[in-house]
Structure formats: structure tokens, C-alpha cells
Chains A and B, each alone.
Chain A
Amino acid sequence: MDTALAVVAMSFDYRKKQVLHSISFSVARGAICGLLGPNASGKTTLLKCINGVLQPRAGAVQANGKAIGDLSRQEIARLMAVVPQQTSLVFAFTALQMVIMGRAARLDTLRLPSRQDRADAERALVALGIGSLSGRFFNELSGGERQLVLLARALFQDTPILLLDEPTSHLDFRNQFMIMDVVRDMTRKNGLATVVSLHDPNLAARYCTQLVVLKDGALYREGPTEIVFERRTLEEVYGMEVVIERTAGRPATVMPRAADGRA
């Protein structure tokens, strides 16, 4: 196994309240690791600790064998790119300008992005099939288009590790699958180690090769999707009764078992 990202016994406190408790897992190149758990289970906090935006109280994160705690922001940004939860911008930047910012970690302080950088950024948009959005303002794009632009920026950052914080949460039904298809294709093509937090266990079952299931900030279960994704785990974590439909042995859909037994 070619491990790109390892989280080792990581704990995080916020104002004396323990938010994450001794989390450990690792992600190999070409793998998509899904973070599952209800709201406030610590998914976003975990991603911020991995990225070094938050300092864990104990434990460590290793990216390509280097401890994140010892690295500068620039060095971290050369190892991992983040697709943030969807936000709108205060100022009007175009899609192309957004993507070019992915170069920040590789520029000298007194240098501007070159003509070559612009051309490369343009290609990063084309690679995701959104070359036509290049000159459009980010805030005028649809949710799916914005998410693709942010993904293009993360890929343009050209890092071995990719982190996504609920990339599907503001998207309609079709765009959720569209975005996750792109994430899966790029993870395989570029041999990335991808970590994605998801609300919807169905998407996790469909796209993730491994799962990290959180409950109240603690690691409830972790491992390959085929093993971890089962009825008891989901019922415990989400606090509801569910049924899982399987097609050809793989978990396909999970839905609530209604109280009146009709489901």
C-alpha cells in the first residue's frame, strides 16, 4: 500500500470541549476516503486539522511521510489542496482568476502569475469540461459550476492529496453525481489520495473505496466500504432504522425503514 496521508491518534479540543477523540486512519494513492457522520460529528473539524488550519491537541497528520505540524502554509499547500464548502465571494473574480490562485503556493513573493500560468489554468478548466466558463464571474455561476471551478482550482494546485468538504451539499440531484464522477475520475487518473466528507451515505457507498465513520467526534468505524457500510453501523451512527438494498453484492441504496413498516 502506497500511503499518501496518515492521521495518527489525533484529538482536538474546542474551549475544553473535546471535538475529536483519537482518530486514526490512512489513505493510499488512488483511494477515495469518505467521512460519514451526522452533523456536529466532527467531519469539518477533522478536515481542518488534516489541513493544518486547526492545531490538534494530540496526534499527528503525515502527508507523504512529512508531519504537517512542522510545515509552513506554503509547504502544506504543495501537498494538499482543499475544495471548500460552497461560499459566495465578496468581490467579483472570474472563474479563470479563481483557478489561477491555485498557483499561489508555487509563486515567488514578488512575481505575478505568468502567461504560461494563465494558459495552464485555462487548460485546467477545459479538462473538467468547463472551458467556456473561463471569463464568467464566479458568483454568477450555478452551484454545480462553482463546485467544478473550485475543483479545477484544487487540481491546478497539483498536489498528491485532495480534501473536499461536503462538495455535494448545495447541489441538485444530477449535479451531485456529476461532481462525484469527476472526483472519482481525477482521483484515479492522477493517483490522488482523496478525502471527502459527505452527508449522503448513498453517495459514499457509490464512490468511496474506504470509509471513516464518526460519531460524536470519535471514530466509530473505519475500513473498506464493502465491510464498513452495513446496517448496524449506519443505524447506530444516524440513530434511525435503515434498510440497505444491494445490487450485485455492492451496497447500492440505503433508506429509512419507516415506523409503519411500509418501506
Chain B
Amino acid sequence: MKDQRLAVLIAVIILITCIGAALTLGRYRIGVATLGEIISLSLRGNESSPALATPTLVLWSVRLPRVVIAIIVGAALAVAGAVFQSLFRNPLVSPGILGVTSGASFGATLAIFIAGNSALAIGGSAFLWGLIAVALAYQIGRRSGNSVTSLVLSGVIVSALFTAGVSFLRYQADPYQHLPAMVFWSMGSFNSIVWADALRALILIVPGLAAIYLLRWWLNPIALGDEDAMALGINVPKARVVYVLIGTLIVAASVASSGNIQWVGLVVPHMARMIVGSDHDVLIPFTALLGGIFMLIMDTLARILPGGEIPVGILTAILGAPFFAYLLITNEKRGGWQN
């Protein structure tokens, strides 16, 4: 217990440090002293001096919304990954397991195809089609036995369907007007996020995360398996609907705001389990912190690496995939996934 609290505390300190670094680093450099000055001025409610006008604008209008959304989306994807892994009793499950990411990708691509590059249309359509995809997967799963396996398989079916839809739309898209936006969106990025985008995502994600936090302990018995959980007094089908609904909500809101960022929802919950164990009491808040830290570091790297800004989804995959290979190999040495 003590070690776990210490881990949470260390994660909080790292997150605060990373926020400071992310706010100061970038093409427009803001010194730590300047950052401190701006914060203390705004805390006291004073008007800032003309010399601080530009750094304040960059900080408040460009960096801060981006930092906030990176943290919250990282936390949402990671927590949804942890929830789905426990729900499906499989550490290889990612938040996209029930088709939400492929559905959202289809929605975004469709919006670009029809309406061009409007952020609101893309976000709304991604969110809507993400929910439709999960509803479809859930119905197929329920009608084919309502077991973990049937749900996973129906997720595969729905994902395949929507991925084909995305390919079709891309094939039909205008290669100069629409295709670049579709491709960029599919890679995922926090580029050009403004407060309006950030707030739209926050309104859905923060209550979702809070609900999962409040309901976190019940994932322990559910992770033991359906029959065991039922014998312990849990209405498993009902509980599963609740968690799937909340998980889908926060993933769809994340994908709608920043595109398709892969690997975070798979790798971060793993790291969290290795550090604090599987008791969801601690695992859920720790996963949220770690997801926020991971995404913030990735996005800051995506901004400051030489050679211009790249989509953060590429970075998470470049770093996530080898790390996952490493986990797979070390885990095999310790006796494989089943132990």
C-alpha cells in the first residue's frame, strides 16, 4: 500500500514537471523565470506588462490548451484501455476492441469527404460513428452468446467493416482537397488545438473519467471472470454495459478531438500494472496519471524534435511498438501472460 501511494505521488510530481517543461519548450522559447512571472501575475490578478504580452499569448492561447488536451486524452485512452482489459480479461485488449476507433475514423473521414475540413463536423461525426460502431458490435455480441469471446469477435467484424469504409472514402476522395486532411487525421495530432476544441473534449471526458474512478473497485471481481463475479454478487451483463458505455464515451471524445492516436491505450495500462499491480483501487488513478504524462511527453517531443512538427500518433507508435515487444519478451521469461 505504501509503495503504491509513493508511486502515485512520484507520478504527480513528474506530471507537474512535464507540464512546466511543455509550457516553456517550443519554437517560441519561454524561460522558466518568465513562466513564473506570468503565473504569479495572473494569480494576483494583475495586468501583465507589455513586455510579457507575447509570451502570455503563446502560453495562454497556444500551449496551455494543447497541454491540457494532451494530458486529458492520454488519461482517457489509458484508462479506457485498463477498463477494457479488465472487462475482457485480456491484457492485449486496446480501447478500440469494440470498434470505437475504426467507427470514429470512418465518421471523421466521412465528414471530411462531405463537409471539408471543419473541426466541428469532423469531431461530431467521429463521436457519433464511434458510438454507432460500438452499439453494432455490442448487438452482434449479445445475439451470439454475450460472452467475452463473442464480443471481441464482433468487435473485429465491425472494425473490418468500418476500415473498409474508410478505404473506400479515401479512394473516392479528391487527392488535393480532402485526402491530405483524411491522412493527417488518421495519424492523430494535437496540432492547432484551441480552447474551444479542448473544452468540447473536456466536457465529455472529465465526467467519464470521474465515473470510472467512482466505480473502479468493481473491476476487481469482474476481472476474475463472469461466473466468479456473478457468484460474488455482481450483475455482470449490466456492469459490462455501464463500463463499455463510459469507456466508449471517453475514447470517442478523445478520437473526435485529436484523431486516431494508437498504442497509448495498450501500452500505458501495461506499464501501470507492472508498477502498481492490478488492484483497480490504485491502478485506475495511476493509469490516468501515467497516460497523461506519456501523452504530454510524446506531444512535446512531436513539437520540438528537429525537422518540424510531426503527428504525435506516429511517435506513440514508433516508441510504443518496440516497448510492447520488450514487454512481450520479458513477460515470456517470467512465465508468459497466463501467469
Contacts known (A88-B338, A91-B273); A77 close to B89, Cβ less than 8 A: no
The residue of chain B having its C-beta at the shortest distance from the C-beta of A110 within the complex is: B214
B233 touches which one: A48, A87, A105 (CB < 8 A)? Answer: A105
State whether the Cβ of A104 lies closer than 8 Å to any Cβ in chain B. yes
Instruction: State the CA gap A27–B199 with chains docked (Å).
Output: 61
Q: Contact flags (1/0) for A73-108 with B, using CB distance below 8 Å? A: 110111001101001111111100100011011010
A73: which B residues are within 8 A, CB to CB?
Answer: 230, 233-236
Q: Which candidate, B21-29, B173-181, B215-223, is the interface stretch facing chain A? A: B215-223
State whether the Cβ of B279 lies closer than 8 Å to any Cβ in chain A. yes
B223 touches which one: A90, A105, A109 (CB < 8 A)? Answer: A90
A112: which B residues are within 8 A, CB to CB?
Answer: 217, 281
B278 touches which one: A74, A93, A104, A113 (CB < 8 A)? Answer: A93
Contacts known (A97-B279, A112-B281); A87 close to B232, Cβ less than 8 A: no
Contacts known (A90-B338, A109-B215); A97 close to B220, Cβ less than 8 A: yes
A104: which B residues are within 8 A, CB to CB?
Answer: 218, 221, 232-234
The residue of chain B having its C-beta at the shortest distance from the C-beta of A89 within the complex is: B224
A92 touches which one: B214, B235, B278 (CB < 8 A)? Answer: B278
B232: which A residues are within 8 A, CB to CB?
Answer: 77, 101-102, 104-105, 157
Instruction: Tell me the count of chain B residues lying within 8 A, CB to CB, of chain A.
Output: 30
B109: which A residues are within 8 A, CB to CB?
Answer: none
Q: Interface residues of A toward B: which range? A: 20 to 34
The residue of chain A having its C-beta at the shortest distance from the C-beta of B236 within the complex is: A73
B224: which A residues are within 8 A, CB to CB?
Answer: 89, 93, 101
Contacts known (A88-B338, A90-B90, A91-B273); A77 close to B233, Cβ less than 8 A: yes
Instruction: State the CA gap A101–B217 with chains docked (Å).
Output: 9
A88: which B residues are within 8 A, CB to CB?
Answer: 338-339
B273: which A residues are within 8 A, CB to CB?
Answer: 91-92
- Expressed in whole angstroms, the minimum distance between the Cβ of B329 and any Cβ of chain A is 19
State whether the Cβ of B332 lies closer than 8 Å to any Cβ in chain A. no
Instruction: State the CA gap A93–B219 with chains docked (Å).
Output: 12
State whether the Cβ of A139 lies closer than 8 Å to any Cβ in chain B. yes
Contacts known (A97-B220, A101-B224, A113-B217); A90 close to B89, Cβ less than 8 A: yes
Q: Which 3 A-B pairs have the closest CB atoms?
A: A77-B233, A105-B233, A91-B278
Hey, which bits of chain B sit against chain A, CB under 8 A?
86, 89-91, 214-215, 217-218, 220-221, 223-225, 227-228, 230-236, 273, 277-279, 281, 337-339
- 11 A-B residue pairs with CB within 8 Å: A53-B227, A82-B228, A84-B227, A87-B225, A87-B228, A91-B273, A92-B273, A101-B221, A102-B232, A104-B232, A104-B233
Given A73-B233, A73-B235, A109-B218, 20 more contacts at CB 8 Å?
A52-B230, A53-B230, A76-B233, A78-B233, A87-B225, A89-B224, A90-B89, A90-B91, A90-B337, A90-B338, A91-B91, A91-B273, A91-B278, A93-B220, A93-B223, A93-B277, A101-B232, A112-B217, A113-B217, A157-B232
